[in-house]
Chain A
């Protein structure tokens, strides 16, 4: 078991003919992901590396039975691509695109309300269930199948953490990047809920960062409902107030969203907090060994 994606996930690429779309569609296919269709308006009927291209998401779904889509469409058109996928009832929409205007995302989320779809991102590395399905831009070779679920708002910091986990001999059930923007699809709490229900996930690494209140909400849920050990790290402990740290969402504004408040909330909820980002893997190892 795993969450969100597995060996049966059938994936569309929206924006398959751009440089990023081509590169990562091939990488995902080589990893073993079922890349079943591409969507590029005006290029329907052509193909890329044996993958058929359609004009619309709806048509791609009808012809291939796809149930997931990954979006590399440029920022100006990406929210529209999300809405197109939502309108076609694609169960899982992963949006990699960075730099989407915030109000476009507000509109896209409003459009999605009430539809039976899940959005991951935007501005995220995607999701991977090691050995089964890589639906994103992460370097597949550092992942191993195993018992640890990973949730993160950041890309390369997730790779760093996964590399540490693999290094101490701990594989991963599913690794989910929720994205660094202020308006996103599934948030940290939503993914925690999924991991709570997943029998294959025995423990969770939660990589947070400054800004917003996702970690505080996660802490409340961990305290009340979460049944598995959690190891956390919060990036940006040294970030000054009022300065945006790369991610549009990573800003300590109005005294809220600071690392110390998040760390305190997570500790109070019973999670193990790694203060150094170099100790995420070893902290998880210690937690799981101590329990065994």
Chain B
């Protein structure tokens, strides 16, 4: 789960990380008031959306009066902001963050994440702050520092010093950096984060080390023990069909094609997408209904698929292990009764109770095309939608 910059900064500040003062505003008037409360000669107004690249896209501006803060907020709020991470449709800005401006001397990069290879955490740092870290990694990999963190130890003193030295942070700045790492580590472990990214981490003209931007992601599997973080979820930032799917614990990702797929198991779901493409068409989604899906869940999945107007045909591919084919068939019939099924449907079923499943579909009166295997299923659905 991702959160907004202002939320991430509030969490990090709670753990003692140095962040600029700021206020979130949902209206131009509130933005002007926030500017006045900060009391500085200048402030930065930043669009709050779950996507990077806001600065380049015109979503961040330095302002020097309440009026300017109000005007810029009015320009952003309620309208989509398009960055390289949002896709062409952009994301609607619902809030801005008004933050005390700092004079920047140096921009650095700092991140903490779970590292599969060392099976612990890793700190990633670079002197090239304020840029896309992927770009830095591709062009100048020697400028990316990586420090594995053993969770039985935490961030050891020598590791802090090594990173500080590589980032050329001396004396008090080096000490402040060490304190920051300790804060980030505690925040990471105690909130079950999966990523903390500070880009840029800056050295201000007055010598302070500050988190100028902050991004945090959290482990969805651990949200059950962090109700205060679960509350930060912003449904407005999620694809509506994906939020709906999440309610039924369906794993759904919307894609660009026109063949809706419903599959049990993530690997088989990806393989089904692949085989559709292999036969010359494009999948409209990834959808894993999971191992123990009941008829209600199957029906919900079917409704979500058919609610997408781009879907011109549906392919269901089930290998029943735990999932029983008769349960699946009941769910499909139930959903087809609720939603008018006006696109071709191809079903491929194999495994537990497959004969009962086929019988339920055949006697349902639904127009279903049965397929004998995966390749046959893909061929049939592609032929039926006429590509």
Which of A's residues lie within 8 Å of B, judged by CB? 20, 75-76, 98-104, 106-107, 109-110, 125, 137-139, 142, 152-160, 163, 180, 182-183, 207, 209-210, 212-213, 233, 235-240, 242-250, 254-255, 275-279
Contact = CB atoms under 8 A, between A and B. Distances in A.
B interface bracket (residues with beta carbon within 8 Å of A): 35 or more
Contact of A156 (B114, B134, B151, B319): B319
Nearest to A104: B222
B114 A247 contact: no
Contacts of B321: 125, 137-139, 155-156, 159
Residues of A contacting B: mostly? loop
Contacts of B278: 275-276
B194 interface: yes
Given A100-B221, A102-B222, A255-B138, A238 B267 contact: no
Contacts of B119: 106, 109-110, 183
A74 to B, nearest CB: 10
Contacts of B179: none
Residues of B contacting A: mostly? mixed
Nearest to B320: A139
B54 to A, nearest CB: 17
Contacts, number: 162
Interface stretch (B96-104, B164-172, B283-291): B283-291
Given A99-B221, A139-B351, A155 B265 contact: yes
Nearest to A208: B267
A180 B275 CA distance: 21
B283 A238 contact: yes
A199 B131 CA distance: 53
Contacts of A212: 116
Contacts of A100: 221
B375 interface: yes
B273 A238 contact: yes
A75 B266 contact: no
**B121, B274, B292, B350 pick with most chain A CB within 10 angstroms:** B274
Contact of A276 (B120, B151, B274): B274
B268 interface: yes
Given A139-B351, A278-B374, A154 B266 contact: yes
A277 B221 CA distance: 30
Contacts of B189: 103
Nearest to A247: B266
17 contacts: A102-B192, A106-B120, A109-B119, A137-B322, A153-B267, A154-B265, A154-B267, A156-B263, A157-B265, A160-B268, A160-B374, A210-B270, A239-B286, A245-B286, A254-B134, A277-B275, A278-B275
